[in-house]
Amino acid sequence: MAFEGLLLSLLFSGGATLGGAWWSLKRWSQARHLLDTPTSKIRSAAQGYAEFYGVLAELADAPLRAPLTGKACLWWRFKIEEYQSSGKKRSWRVVDSASSEAWLRLRDGTGDCLIDPCGAEVRPAIREVWQGNLRHPMASAKSGSLSWLGSGKRYRYSEERLQVGQPLYAIGDFRSSGGGRQARDLEAAQSAVIREWKGEFSGLLQRFDSDRNGQLDEQEW
């Protein structure tokens, strides 16, 4: 038994070492890639892979509201975890998570461009983490005077946001429409996305029903 325990310990240590080495190599490769890509100006950027640095600006649409705090923002991502305890085992289990798919406007002084965050690695500067005893932290504002009783459970909430005026670094595939290389036309892009969304209402609910009430209210639309 002692030999088997030692063998398992060695295998675990070896796996952790290999995993750490892989993660370090991946981050090093990403850092080298970023250093080797020059920063472009939006007005004069070539088509294809490009790097930009600027500030976030508002779109014409009404601002989003982050689902856990209700704060106005341009983009959000949240996670709700439930605390679980069984004997000596204690852990946090993710029970809900989602992220905004709203487009972002980046401005660098020479022009504007739109950024599609879907599939991107987003690292916001704003991140809030807190705990409570409600399945959703904003439920107390909607469930009436008895909401203070709680559920007897313990939850941890995490919310990240991007807001107007924040600096933003972006790298990825750049494309412009029209002969003048102006930023992609927002109305045309939104129309195409809306046509796609209307084909599957259940997908809309999953992506944009931030208060999880089973329907899309005016602000979510």
Mean pLDDT lowest among 19-28, 35-44, 153-162: 19-28
pLDDT at 221: 58
| Residue 73 included in any domain | yes
| Residue 216 included in any domain | no
| Residue 16 included in any domain | no
pLDDT at 145: 46
**pLDDT (mean) for 162-167:** 93
pLDDT at 160: 96
Mean pLDDT lowest among 6-10, 47-51, 110-114, 137-141: 6-10
| Residue 131 included in any domain | yes
As a whole number, the mean pLDDT across the chain is 74
pLDDT, one tens digit per residue, over 62-108 is 678 999 999 999 999 999 999 998 888 889 999 999 999 888 999 99
Q: How far apart are CA 115 and CA 74, in angstroms?
A: 12
Q: Which residue has the higher pLDDT, 97 or 150?
A: 97
Mean pLDDT lowest among 56-65, 108-117, 189-198: 189-198
CB neighbours of residue 23 within 10 Å: 10
HSE, side-chain direction, 13 A CA sphere, residue 179: 0
First to last CA, the chain: 61
Q: How far apart are CA 41 and CA 183, in angstroms?
A: 12
| Residue 99 included in any domain | yes
Q: How confident is the model at residue 208 (pLDDT cuts 50, 70, 90)?
A: low
- The DSSP output letter for 54 is E
Residue 106 burial (C-beta neighbours within 10 Å; 0-12, 13-18, 19+): buried
Q: How many independent structural domains does the chain possess? A: 1
Asked if residue 195 has pLDDT above 70, the reply is no
| Residue 182 included in any domain | yes
| Residue 197 included in any domain | yes
| Residue 219 included in any domain | no
Query: Is pTM, for the whole model, over 0.75?
Result: no
Q: Which domain holds residue 154?
A: 39-208
